[in-house]
Amino acid sequence: MTPTPPGPLLTVRAAVVFLITLMIGVAAGCLAYLADHSVPSAVLWGGGAAGGSLLLFHTIIGR
């Protein structure tokens, strides 16, 4: 018997949702840094935008 290969780590849907979330978080962080010139503030803005977009795109993108 040959062992079956393991399944994918992420589905295509999950990878797309995470990729969009990452792009939105980075864009929000860059814009926040350009507006305020504060790295901690930019990280917080980027993280908040990423969290919100993760929830949004998880519900919007079909299964």
Residue 3's SS3 state is: coil
CA distance 39 to 33: 6
Virtual torsion, Cα 6, 12, 14, 19, nearest 10 deg:
120
pTM of the model: 0.85
pLDDT of residue 43: 98
Q: Where are the domains of the chain?
A: 22-60
Is residue 5 classed exposed, middle or buried when 0-12, 13-18 and 19+ CB atoms within 10 A define those classes? Answer: exposed
What's the rounded mean pLDDT across residues 37-44?
97
Q: What is the pLDDT of residues 25-37, one digit of tens each?
A: 999 999 999 999 9
pLDDT at 62: 80
Residue type, 21: T
Residue with tokens 């919100």: 52
